[in-house]
Chain A
């Protein structure tokens, strides 16, 4: 125990190594994979993220009739690996470096956006008669 005494004394008179958590929050590191967001206006509903996601928590559906697409993510199944962010061809997915807020109910992130229809060819102008 004697060998430890200098360390113990030093710790006693130095400042605390921990933080008073809810009042004092450490700045997150910029690379930290904390929370997943989809910028739905850029999403083209290509399903790449759905196919590559290892925990299979993304579902992408397209509804041709109403011209809308739905991007759903189950944040409780997500493992925050960031694969979907890497594969998204339009960079509409991004990760923010803060933790998700705790939640009492299991809710899904559901986003509805417009499908970008291939541009219709303009009907050939009718010949003037």
Chain B
């Protein structure tokens, strides 16, 4: 058969977000993929000119629905560094707890969607049922399920009571138990392995050269995680990145699955070490100077560049989200796979198109 160009998206059943790919195929084998982005640009960075730096917290939270807490954490850390604010220890621990809860629910959402992409509806429901526990924790402790709005410049707005902490621990123990029962399915099942093993391989060298981030990078055998930078309370909590070596879709999902279990342990460690103290340091004056902050989001490294000019409006906010870094590796995975595997491979990097275009 001659070469054909098949459009994938912008609207496609496996991906709720508009990503357009032109797939050059020959005999159902993809030869090349040409991405087209820019369907959901929202101009959030431009808002820095008319919203002051406190209000920008709520704006950056809305860059991404499911890592909202971590976006605002990154932004607040940058502003605090510019204004030389010392964040209280308790606030740092609380930030860690909520950001790990966010990582868990983001990964569980993705694991469900991934199962759904290769047609395993029942597994999808299992993951989402566990996710609901985490969502309830978020809702009860912060006041909102998804966009939690707990960060302020200098600390956090909400506190955790001892009863809430013990409730979180019991819910997490239950979630862990449920995850263990479906562990064999996602990591060992014939159907799952058949659809994911050896599909969309990204070698270690490719991952390094193309600048992959997050589980895509760690699934290819590179132990790099921004939590090693010891922001928030990660300097007090032992932390080892999760690494898998094969670089295929299966390894990426395995990394995510193991990270959920790791996050449960991190939350436990943070609750065990939760110190007493203030929730937020007072914040006076306006940010001045420019800097870059980086944090680890569920999908990978997120980078903020900020420039303040001494007024309450920032000159520039630039956000580089992990999916942006993961698109070149995605293009490199495509050649040689079958057309039917394209949704699985695209989903395996956990694309978040609205974040990429902000």
Contacts and interface: CB of A to CB of B under 8 A. Distances in A.
B58 A83 contact: yes
B129 A54 contact: no
A81 interface: yes
A82 B143 contact: yes
Contact of B122 (A8, A33, A95): A8
B280 to A, nearest CB: 11
Contact of A4 (B123, B129, B139, B158): B123
B26 to A, nearest CB: 33
B177 interface: no
Given A52-B54, A54-B51, A83-B58, A7 B143 contact: no
A1 B115 CA distance: 12
Interface stretch (B4-12, B184-192, B350-358): B184-192
Q: How large is the interface on A (under 10, 10 to 19, 20 to 34, 35 or more residues)?
A: 20 to 34
B139 A32 contact: yes
Nearest to B126: A7
Contact of B188 (A3, A33, A79, A81): A3
Interface residues of B, number: 32
A80 B144 contact: yes
B60 to A, nearest CB: 10
Nearest to A10: B181
A82 B191 contact: no
A55 interface: yes
Contacts of A82: 143, 149, 157
A93 to B, nearest CB: 14
A80 B190 CA distance: 45
B140 interface: yes
Interface in A32-74: 32-33, 52-55
A29 B144 CA distance: 10
B141 A31 contact: yes
A103 interface: no
Contacts of B143: 29, 31-33, 82, 95
A17 interface: yes
A1 B190 contact: yes
B189 A1 contact: yes
B349 interface: no
Given A31-B140, A33-B143, A54 B191 contact: no
A5 to B, nearest CB: 10
Contacts of B158: 31
A61 B157 CA distance: 29
A110 interface: no
Interface string B162-192: 0000000000000000000110110011110
A86 B157 CA distance: 9
A55 B54 CA distance: 12
A9 to B, nearest CB: 11
A7 B182 contact: yes
Nearest to B158: A31
22 contacts: A1-B189, A1-B190, A2-B189, A2-B190, A3-B184, A3-B185, A3-B189, A7-B181, A17-B132, A29-B139, A31-B142, A31-B143, A31-B158, A32-B139, A32-B144, A54-B55, A54-B57, A54-B59, A81-B58, A81-B149, A82-B149, A83-B58
Given A3-B189, A33-B144, A86-B157, 10 more contacts: A3-B185, A7-B122, A7-B182, A17-B132, A29-B139, A31-B139, A32-B140, A32-B144, A54-B58, A81-B149
